[in-house]
Each structure stands twice: as C-alpha cells, then as structure tokens.
A and B are shown apart, each in its own frame.
Chain A
Amino acid sequence: MALPIIASFQDLEKVQKKCAADFALRELSDRPQGISAEEIKELTKEGYEQYVLCCGGTGCHASQSAEIIKRFEDAINENGLEKKIKVIRTGCFGFCEQGPIVQIRPDNTFYVHVTPDDVKEIVTEHLIGGNKVKRLLYVLPATGEHMPDSKHMPFYKQQVRIALRNCGSIDPENINEYIARKGYAALAKVLTMKPEDVIQTIIDAGLRGRGGGGFPTGQKWKITREVQATKKYVVCNADEGDPGAFMDRSILEGDPHSIIEAMAINGYCTGADHGLIYIRAEYPLAIHRLEVAIAQARECHLLGKNIFGTDFSFDIELRYGAGAFVCGEETALIRSMEGKRGEPYVKPPFPSVRGYKDAPTNVNNVETFANICPIILNGSKWFSSIGTEKSHGTKVFALAGKVNNVGLIEVPMGTTLRQVIFDIGGGIKGGKKFKAVQTGGPSGGCLTEKHLDTPIDYDNLIAAGSMMGSGGMIVMDEDNCMVSVAKFYLDFTVEESCGKCSPCRIGNKRLYEILDKITKGEGTMEDIDNLENLARVIKDTALCGLGQTSPNPVLSTIDNFRDEYIAHVKDHRCPAHQCRALTQYIIDPTKCKGCTACARKCPVSAIKGEVKVPHVIDPQVCIRCGNCKNSCKFGAITIQ
C-alpha cells in the first residue's frame, strides 16, 4: 500500500478529503462537511459499494475471526465482487459477548456469533441478494425482536464513544482510514497554536487521568512544560493489568493512531521530542498494530523530523513490560523502562519533574491520550459539557462477570451503575439477583444495591468506598461469596506486589491468610478486627498506589457484607454456598428416586446407594464440585 507523504498542512487537507470521501461511502451518516455528493462520486469513482467489517479484536480473533475474514475474501473473489465489496478487519466493536461480530456497511447490519460456516450465506443472501440473514441478527432478549442494525441496540444506545470513536469502524492497520476520520487534524491544529494555549484547552476541558488516579491531565502537562530541561519524554502507560480489563488493549488494537497523534501533541506542548509506549508483552496484537501504525506514520512524515514542515520533531518507540502489575504504577514503569527492577519510588519528585532517565517525563494512560484529539478538534466546552460537575467526558469500562452483555462500553460520566449494569449490560445472567459490582479492579471496592443509582464519577466512587480505577467492572450475583471475592483480589495483589515496602509485602500476605482462614471456617471474631486494623494500616503506610489501595476489597466487603463474614466465623456457614469447606451437598431421601444419575456423575465416588433406593453423599469424600446437583432431575440435592 503506497502511503501519501504529508509534508505540510495543505498536504493533510488534500489527503483527508480523498480519504474522507472513500470513507463516506460506507459511513453515509458521517459524510464530511464541504464535500458534495458529486464530489464524493468523483473522488471515489473506483470505490466499493459494500463493506464487510469484521472484528479483529483479541476476543473475536480467538473465536476464529481471522478465518471468517479469509472466507469472506474467498467468497467475494469467487463471485468476482472484489472490486465492489471490501472486507475490513477492524478493532473491537465492544459487544464481546456476541462475538465474532460482522457488520455490513453502508446498511449497518450487525451480525452476531458469526462462524466461518455462516459466511457463504451472508455473501449470497445479503451481499449479493440484498436480504439480511435474519438468524444471525442480534435478538433483543426482552422482546425476542431481531435488531436490523446496531444503532437501536440498547447496548449501544446509551453509549457515547469518544475514546472508542474509531474502534470497530476503521481498519487500524490503514492510516488512510484514520486520516479519513479527521486523523492528524488535531496535531496539525496544535502546531499552529502556542503550546500554552493547547494546555489551557486541556485544562479547561477538565480531562482527568483515566488510568485510575484522576489527576487533572492539563495540570500534569503544564508542570512538565514548566520544568526547565534539555531533554523531556512523553510516556504512554499501556501496562493495563487489572483482572478482566481490556480498555487500553482495545483502543491500541482498534485505533493506534489516536494514541500516536495525542502523544505527539503532548510532546509539542511539553517540549519533548521522544515518546515511549510501555506496553505489556502479552498484548502481541496491540504491539503489532502499534508497530504498523508507527511505521505508517513515519512513512507519511507524521512522525519524525519537522512534522508538517514545522520545527517540531517527534518520534515514538515501544518498550515491552514483562507482565508485572505494579509496573502500571508510573514510577515503577519508569524504573522498568530504565532497565531496572520495576519498583515504585517515593513521590515527590513526580515524573513530570524527574522521571525517565531523571528527565521530566509526562506519563499518561492510553485512554487519557485517546481523549486528546477530540478535545482539540471540538473544543474544551464540548468536552466539559459531557459528564458531571467534577468529572468531565466519558469513561470506558470493561464490563464483565455475571452480566448478560459482557463487553467494552463507553458512557458519559454521571451514568449510574444501574444504567450500566441493567440497561447496557442487560442485567444479571440467568435472571439471578444482583449482589455487588467491583469497580477499580483489585484496588477498588465492592459496591452494592444501595449504590446502584450513584452517578459514576471519580469522587462519588471514592466516597462510596471504591474507586474509578482504570475501568474494570466486575458484576457479582447471589452466588458470589464476598469473603471469597476479597480473597480473590488479595491473592492477586500478594502475587503482584513488588515486595519493596513492608506493609504491602507482608501485610497483604497476612490479609490473604486471614481471609483464607475465614473461608475455611477457622476464623474468629478477632480475625475480623485484625483484618480491619491491618487493612487500614496498609492503606495508611504503603509506599505506592498498589499497596495503598490493595486492602480496599477487604474493607469494602466488610463494610457492606459484615454479616457474611460473621456467618463464616460464627455459624461456619457460607451464605453464597461458595466456600467448599463450609458447604455440604445433601440428598433429600423423600425426593430421591435412586436413579443413580448423581452417583455416576460423581468424580470421587462419594455417593453411595442401591438402585431405586435413596442415595447418600459421604461429606468426607465429597469435593463439592456440584456435578450431582446438576445431574439430579428430581431436585433432591440441596446445598447447605
């Protein structure tokens, strides 16, 4: 693919016009202003008539989307339609629950759970025949209605996609598609502005760090700019590590140029000519997309010396993290990039003052950068009109757990948890009862029924005992034991602590040990008191953000579910029937018909009994796997 050289602002305008016209063919609603239909026709004489957008995100990729794409291309070629229909591998559409996803444009048909075997039918029926394949359309669970396109799906209806604006819409490996969507126009714009004015725009927009801390982004840029130094760095923190979180990954996989452009803008504002993206090596697809994007940007002269023919030069290199969660903490990240042990150091000095190689370093998270270009292009007023008083804009969440619509969503700040979980998320799986939602990953806390109508923003979540974090959101239902939930997160932080400071190194381990004791029914009431004291001391004394927040799951579960802790300790009972040591499977002899189904399913032969005689489970042998209960047709087996 030959790429255009963009050596001036005029070059960009020209290229953009052409690319936008191409793009307008499949995105009819998004027709660029100032281009008439005739112009589009003229500019896209050889354009395509239909586009097949297939999700190339990690989730759909794992469900054979690469094979789906290949079959589409083969089928289109077989029918001689390669000049009329184009197949595009996009980034994540967000609705991962329904993947692999295929979208047909311009008619916006949204096919879900597509398999390679469905491809032929879509090609002949829809692309050639013009009839939608009904069985592959998304079905609204509430009404059973088939949704012809994505615009009316509840999952998308309440979302406002700023950071995810291009994910699922463009081919991330084609810079022209990014340029078509006003790509690099923000960079071109700031290069005609004074850096101070650009920073003021970010400050006025009220953008806060999306990595979890919520520090005002513009202020950070200002501090970095004001430090006198001959060398400065821009760092993009792509060391996403919360269990179940994939916001940054999706942005990098779906829209890598948005990060590259924003980093260059940051470099211009702070006086840095060198950008580094610290990305986990376990994100090979994101790394690949970034590598392609950086190479293309360089080829177009959008990275490198004298960008747009100005004095501004900027380039980016990738640094790979080895998968330590703590390296998402900015000081540990810097140490790691320096080739040292990835351990945090005491702030101040903050990285903006002294960071990578002791030079002023502006560290922002992926999602923060993804918001920059729209703010530049649409203005600070536009951005600050979205969201709540103190938290502007949107937030991307990775919605996971016991919720119907697992996926990646972006909502305006101020959206309530109820809207997220029940409207967008489609409620709890299997019609079970909502119990809690963990926001903020392992550093966050569990929020309950009473918090469901709290508008989501930085301050409200902290006030409720949790935090925004980077955007992980795990929904729990009545089957989740809250002591076990706390234990799960502590297990993670014990593993991921760097071990530098004593409270985190030893304290988290002790928290875990006490929780483990309680889930085994060996806890005491004193243990609960000790847990609370220890958790508070760790928060109060730990060196970095990891340790200062790691006890949050313990404290929030004790605060909200103290009776569950007490049930474990005093009654030796796990109300959610999750703790194996505290649950027992029992066969009701009045209901058991002696069909032997359960005994045959039991992997450890714990069930004894003659045919047609009620069976009995030996609790000493039983491993509480639940197979028997699932296999019983008479509802004779209960958990106690």
Chain B
Amino acid sequence: MKVTIDNREIEVKDGSTILDAAESIGIKIPTLCHMHMHDLNYDNKPGACRICVVEVEGRRNLAPACKTDCTPGMVIHTHTPRVLNARRTVMELILSNHPNECLTCSKNGYCDLQSIAHDLGIRKISYAGEMSHFKLDASPAIVRNMDKCIACRRCEEACNEIQHVGALSAINRGFNAVVGTAFNKDISGSNCTYCGQCVAICPTGALSENSHIDDVLDALADPKKTVIVQTAPAVRVALGQDFGFKPGSNVTGKMVTALRQLGFDKVFDTDFSADLTIMEEGTELLGRIKAAMSGDKDVKLPLMTSCCPAWVNYMEQHHSDLLPHLSTARSPQQMFGSIAKSYWAEKMGIDRRDLVVVSVMPCVAKKYECKRPEFYVNGDPDVNISITTRELARLIRYANIDFPALAESEFDHPLGESTGASVIFGTTGGVIEAAVRTAYELFTGEALPRINFEELRGFNGVRIATIYFHETPIRIGIAHGLANAQKLIEMVRKGDCNLHAIEVMSCPGGCIGGGGQPYHRGNIEVVKSRQEAIYAADREKTIRKSHENPDIIKLYDEYLGKPCSEKAEHLLHTHYYKK
C-alpha cells in the first residue's frame, strides 16, 4: 500500500506501523518505551510513553507511531508544530517526575531519556510538581531506583514474556504507578532470578547492576593481597563496544593488557575453567547415559547444564522437583575460584585469605552466585568480587587507560590456557557443542570426524538436534531465554522428549546478550555480531577440544586425579536447594 510521510509518498508492506514506514525512508521518530527485537520475539510496544506521536490527517488525536498500523493512503506528518509541542510537553512531564541528577547517574551517557531530551531540546520544565519517591531496593546483583522509572514497562515485558519469571509487574495506579514486585517486596525477597535482562533494556538509570568497582579498587590497592582476575568468554567480544569499537570486535589482547595495567597480579581466563567444566559435566553426562543404556531406570536424564546462575535460580524457585536433572558441576566462574584458591594458591604458596579472585562477567547473576554459601570455604569466598563487562569498561576509564591504543598481550599461565571449546561457552549452543566435542571422543574412543556442529548453533529460541556417537543417537535440547527453557521443561515433564542433555542460557543469545554487557539498545544485530566473533575465535584456536587443553591435563595429573574423582567432586561440584 501507499502512504505519505512528511510529503513523501512511499510503498509499505501490510502490517507496517507508522514507525516502520518512517524508518524505511530514514525518518527517525523518537521512541522511549518501544523496543522490538524480532529474532527474540521481544516486542514491547505498550504505546505508553507517547513520545512517538505523529499527526495523521483525518484523525482526531495524535497517533503513537510505534503502535499504529499504516492504512492505504494514510497521510502522516512527523514534525508539525502540533506534534513537536505535544512531544516536548510529554517529555517535560516525564522529566518533571524524574530526578535531575544526570551527572551522577549510573546511566549517564547511556540513557535513552537523556538523549531524547537532548534531541528535543528541552531547556526548562514548565510543569514542575510533586515527584515520586520509592524505597531504594539494592540486592547483591540488581539495584532498583524506581524514582527514575518512566513506566516504559520494558523490564516487565522482559521479565514476563522473555524470561517467564514474573517477578516484575506494574503496581499502584495513577501518579504512583510503577513497576514492582509482588506485594512490593525487595527484589531479593521476590522470585527474581537476577538474570539482569531488565537491567539490559532499562532506558534510564532505574535498574542497574550493584556496582562492585570500589571493592576491586580497594583490593588492588591493598599490598597484602594477591589479586587475580578471570574473564568470561563473552566479555572479550563485547567490551570494545564501550570504547568505540564496532559491535562484535574481539578485543581479548587489549583487555588482557588493560587488566594488567589496572594492577592485577595475574590475568587469567574463565575459558580455562570452562574447559574444566566440560571435563566434569561431560563425564557426568556420559556416566548417566551409560547407566541408562545399561538399564538403570532411576538415572536422571536429560542432564541439564548448570553454568548459568540465573537458570539455576529459576530451577530452584520454579521447578525444584527437577533439580536432580541439573548437572552438579559448578559453573566456570566458581570452578575457577575453587581451583585458584586451592591448586594454584598451594602451588604459589599463597594463603587463600590473601588471595582475591575477581571475575569479569557478562552477567549480573554471577554477583549473586559468588555470594552463595556453598562457594565459601571457612568463611572465605572462592570468588571474592564479580563485576560486569560494563563495570570493567568503567574501571579502565578510571585508570586513565587509552583502551584503543593498547598493545595486545596474552593471558597468564596456567589458568589462562584455553581451547576453542571454551570460547564458545559465551553463546547459546556453545556449552553443549563443547561438551559434545569431548563426550564424543571419550564415548567412542575415536577422534571427531568434524569439529563444528552447525546443528547446535543458531538463534532459534528452542533447538533440538540428534548427534550420533557412532550408532548411538544422542538427543540434545537447547534453549536461550527462560521462557524458551520453560518449553523444554514442559517436554521433560511430559516424559516424551527422549532428550539426553539440555543446555539453557537465561539470556537471549546466551552470555553474549547477558545483563552485564554493554547495552545493545534493542539492536539484535549487536548480539549476533558477538556470536560471530565467538565462532571466529574458536576457529582461530589450534586446540579446540577441552580434553586436549594441556594445562587441564596437567591439573588432573598433578591434583585432581580424574574427572569426577573424590577431590574433583569436592572442589568442582555443588548441590541445589528448593527455594
């Protein structure tokens, strides 16, 4: 059909909104609440903020461009005085109930509200009045400052539709309407999994990670402490974005240099412990498959991955009866901490209390995970501090480091050695592909005929594939986003899925789309480019199977014995609780 926008007649597809039509000819109508990520089925357009209003000839009132479908012959004006006055007045209203503290806000420079206010040229607020005040709600992972909430409801959509968690929903009415938890409990007393997707898409500073930058700085400044750092696979392909690199740039070498310049005594890699996870989890999986094949009816299959802390929280809260399906292997972050404070500390002659393990994660749930009591030894946590990719970018700025100009350098040894299998841990499908690479060889005793398992890759929310270990079909389910995981859980409950293993990553796209990553602002291409970078990094590795990591082999030889040995069980496995 044909429509006319700002005096330009264009052809648009059926079902196009005014916003789509305008975008197709380069007219950028400002939006605030609207967020649409097609591949993830994320579509938040409540039509609530009313910033995107436009004039449609023949219509009595202004139309929200994000929520109004084009009709044949529609004549639209996007910047008449009536439209601009309405847009600016609505913006003034929103700002009149928003704390005027941009310079000290955690979202300063990344805030959608700030940038649209700038674009609209708001210079004064004519409608000042009473402002909303809500209790500041700080959990170990997420901080909610609802005074800054503009009721765009993106977080609610993410929490309920993408994640199926249902921790957040609009409460109260009128001027006091805000997004909150059931009975307005603190987030830590709610059923929040700390996946952080609400933080990832919040347009203002209402939702943010609980920052632990100062703890890192304090530890680095303490001469008595040895401070080491581990960086998760997905961090290196996202960090560059906050320094002007194009999305999906792999900045591993510069990141390592920056961490060294920050003063970390050793710069290690979570990839190392990802390989270790494969050894343990792969062995556990094979054990269960073999037991099932030999007729053991009680064995719990499918085995579900347990790397993702938000997924673990979700299982503990919503599906505790299925907890025996979760792999007992700890996550790579925690395996790293455990090995660093045992094997490596002993090797280096450092008292574990003098060793500070910092993790850089794409995730806010990791902040909660490292505080779980199971991961403390005599009151000392295996991982002391967990920060997000965004916080690392801020730390680098604090330290006056010119990131783009940095030379590249390598991780330290031995906890910095990794394989291609561990790199792909950062994307949906990656953990299970890494596990297959190892499990296949351990099961068949033969080398893999091919290393890439394309059938496990991709962006579909739920994927099911069968991999043949010789004649034996191994059926694998993969989900990213907890609502998708819920679909797999329903299959398991029905009892007819015949799956052997399930990989779940809570965040859309996996850790590359994590709640602690540089903001993608609703652009799914950003997340996809990170995925491409991860697979490229895998291809570039000479060793691409976890069980071939020489330092992992050495770790078992020198310290752990074999996978799932008594010592490995003690140091590398955990248990779960109904919550």
Contact = CB atoms under 8 A, between A and B. Distances in A.
Interface stretch (B171-179, B231-239, B424-432, B506-514): B171-179
Interface in A486-514: 494-503, 505-510, 513-514
Interface in B160-180: 169-170, 172-178
B50 A502 contact: yes
A109 B195 CA distance: 74
B174 A496 contact: yes
A505 B174 contact: yes
B378 interface: no
A543 B50 contact: yes
A640 interface: no
Interface stretch (B91-99, B266-274, B336-344, B359-367): B91-99
24 contacts: A324-B173, A345-B47, A346-B67, A346-B68, A497-B177, A499-B174, A499-B175, A499-B177, A500-B151, A500-B153, A500-B170, A500-B177, A501-B48, A502-B51, A502-B94, A503-B90, A507-B90, A509-B129, A513-B130, A530-B127, A534-B89, A541-B86, A542-B50, A543-B50
Nearest to B67: A346
A510 B129 contact: yes
B93 A497 contact: no
Contacts of B62: 540-541
A375 B393 CA distance: 72
Contacts of B53: 540-541
Contacts of A324: 173
Contacts of A348: 69
A503 B85 CA distance: 13
Contacts of B294: none
Nearest to A526: B126
Contacts of A506: 93-94, 96-97, 127, 175
Interface string A535-571: 0010111110000100000000000000000000000
B318 to A, nearest CB: 19
B221 to A, nearest CB: 45
Give the size category of A's interface with B: 35 or more
Nearest to B156: A341
A341 B168 CA distance: 12
Interface of A: 324, 326, 341, 343, 345-346, 348, 494-503, 505-510, 513-514, 530, 533-534, 537, 539-543, 548
B173 A541 contact: no
A175 to B, nearest CB: 39
Interface in B441-472: none
Q: Is the interface of B mostly helix, strand, loop or mixed?
A: loop
Given A348-B69, A501-B47, 19 more contacts: A326-B173, A341-B170, A343-B170, A494-B174, A497-B175, A499-B175, A499-B178, A500-B170, A501-B50, A502-B48, A502-B51, A502-B90, A502-B93, A502-B151, A510-B127, A530-B126, A537-B85, A541-B50, A543-B48
B150 interface: yes
B120 to A, nearest CB: 14
A494 B174 CA distance: 6
The 6 closest A-B pairs by CB, nearest first: A499-B177, A346-B47, A506-B93, A537-B89, A497-B174, A510-B127
A542 B63 CA distance: 10
B185 to A, nearest CB: 18
Given A505-B177, A510-B129, A499 B172 contact: yes
B46 interface: yes
Residue with the greatest number of chain A CB neighbours at <10 A, chosen from B129, B153, B178: B129
A45 to B, nearest CB: 60
A495 B175 CA distance: 8
Interface of B: 46-51, 53, 61-62, 64, 67-69, 82, 85-86, 89-90, 93-94, 96-97, 126-127, 129-130, 150-151, 153, 169-170, 172-178
Contacts of B150: 502
Nearest to A544: B47
Contacts of B69: 348
Contacts of A503: 50, 90, 93
Residue with the greatest number of chain B CB neighbours at <10 A, chosen from A501, A502, A530: A502
Contacts of A508: 174-175
Contacts of A494: 174-175
Nearest to A348: B69
Given A324-B173, A500-B177, A548 B126 contact: no
B176 A499 contact: yes
Contacts of B68: 346
A530 B126 CA distance: 8
A541 B94 CA distance: 13
Contacts of B129: 509-510, 513
A496 B177 CA distance: 11
Nearest to B45: A346
A540 B50 CA distance: 10
Nearest to B129: A513
Contacts of B174: 494-499, 505, 508-509
A169 B49 CA distance: 50
Nearest to B95: A506
Contacts of A533: 85, 89
B363 to A, nearest CB: 30
Contacts of B178: 499
Nearest to B53: A541
A507 B93 contact: yes
Nearest to A494: B174
Contacts of A501: 47-50
Contact of A510 (B96, B151, B172, B177): B96
B48 A540 contact: no
A510 B86 CA distance: 15
Residue with the greatest number of chain A CB neighbours at <10 A, chosen from B64, B89, B130, B178: B89
A497 B169 CA distance: 17
A503 to B, nearest CB: 6
B130 A505 contact: no
Residue with the greatest number of chain A CB neighbours at <10 A, chosen from B69, B97, B178: B97
A29 to B, nearest CB: 47
A195 B151 CA distance: 45
B51 to A, nearest CB: 8
Given A533-B85, A541-B61, A510 B170 contact: no
B71 to A, nearest CB: 10
A500 B48 CA distance: 6
B418 to A, nearest CB: 47
A230 to B, nearest CB: 23
Contacts of A497: 173-175, 177
Contacts of A530: 126-127
A548 to B, nearest CB: 6
Contacts of B170: 341, 343, 499-500
A498 B94 contact: no
Residue with the greatest number of chain B CB neighbours at <10 A, chosen from A341, A530, A541: A541
A482 B168 CA distance: 42
A129 to B, nearest CB: 59
Contacts of A507: 90, 93, 127
Contacts of B61: 539-541, 548
A252 to B, nearest CB: 26
Nearest to A510: B127
A580 to B, nearest CB: 21
A509 B48 contact: no
A534 B85 contact: no
A43 to B, nearest CB: 56
A499 B173 contact: yes
B66 to A, nearest CB: 9
Contacts of B172: 499
Contacts of A505: 151, 174-175, 177
A383 B278 CA distance: 79
B298 to A, nearest CB: 40
Contacts of B49: 501-502
A317 to B, nearest CB: 26
B127 A534 contact: yes
Contacts of A498: 173-174, 177
Contact of B86 (A499, A509, A537): A537
